[in-house]
Structure 1
Amino acid sequence: MKNNLLILPLTCCALSSLPAQSLIVNFNGSTVAGTEHFYSPTDGDVVWGSDTLNFDFENFQDSSSTGNHAGVFDNDGSTFGETGVSYFFVRDQTVDSTGITATLTISGFSGDNYKLELISSVYSDTGVRLADIQVNGSFADSGGGVALYGDDYNAYTDGFLTGTPLTWNNVVPTGVSNDTITLTVATSGQDLMGFINGLRITVIPEPATMGLFIGLGLIPCCMLARNRKYR
């Protein structure tokens, strides 16, 4: 019985060191419980576990309008889905404009791999809702409506109507310190618009780390079985 008492605390300590599963960030609008919230595209820090992430916005605008307006995202019952009700957007109204690129640079990541999911949604088809959306220079691995996910992405037809976020399955931080992830939303002409409503970032654990946690979790089970066998 003494063996069990010694091993169980070790297991609990190992499991408690796992990072928070996901960070959900809400852009504009009402506060959504369980998320970090930016009321305007102003630079700021978010503490996530042992990491302090710096969010640096460039060329995004905030809006008093709603992005999803009781649409498919905020009706799905999830915290992440609720972030679809509001947005930041990018738009260049200059006559004969060739477009504009908005950038969200997030730095301070300590891990090696992350999964990113982005809601880009607006409930109205008024205007041209087209933009190229990329993370670290790559289009998404999956998403609504288009074959090359994020290329000429329409926030109404590809986002709102499908209720499917853009998803990058394996994002590796880059930069001088290998701690930066960059999201870009680029338009290609006058009055074209792109949107970001909510972002979910999830740590992808190292295989060796997961093996350690699983192994430590099995040790008490093996010890209990052994004790029962030899009682």
Structure 2
Amino acid sequence: MAAQIHIPTYTGTPLMITGGVLNQQILQASVPGARPAAESKRAAQVSTVVPDGPSRMPRQLAQSYPPEARAEAERFFAELLSGYQGIERQFGIPRRDLAGAVAAFIAGSWMAYRGEPFPDRDFPPLVDQSRRILASLPQLREAAGPARQDTYEQLAILGMFMATTRMALDRQPDSVAAANLRQAAKRYLEQFLAVDAERVQLGPNGLSLE
């Protein structure tokens, strides 16, 4: 694997679920006696399944590549998005469920940052946790369909990119590429969760912050 691996740019999600929204919910859930907002607002919950529409994110992500490589990058990202549908089928996630894409993004970034595999058994709890939180967010209720779809596609593609690249490095080690990937994963986690990547822990109960 080439050491100069080009890692796509994470641009932040159109739904504004970055900036600590998820970590605030998780930290609140860890306080004894606290009732997470996702639990206390069940009546206000909305579906996390995004509407279908024209795919735009493979092309948008490819724009961070050199001009001569953009067409190939777009095809590759479209393949990753298609491959993510296999993850949905494998784990029984509803098609186009934003909660699954969020979980894939976090898990893939965590794998790349830690340099270790993520157990399949721990993925469903992470999806369920993401769904409980996202379903209570006003941002999800208010977002237009294309914004929801862009968010879903970007997170699914980047999660797949990080996980598959980490697995490729396990088969064919490259210390420089691994260091570049780890640094990118650190940025992804910290942009998305607004906490130090070292605090991010994944396990049988989903995501926790130390």
TM range (shorter): under 0.3
Larger Rg belongs to: 1
What is the TM-score with the length of structure 1 in the denominator?
0.24
More strand by share: 1
Q: Comparing both chains, which one has the higher relative contact order based on Cα–Cα distances under 8 Å and sequence gaps of 6 or more?
A: 2
What is the TM-score with the length of structure 2 in the denominator?
0.25
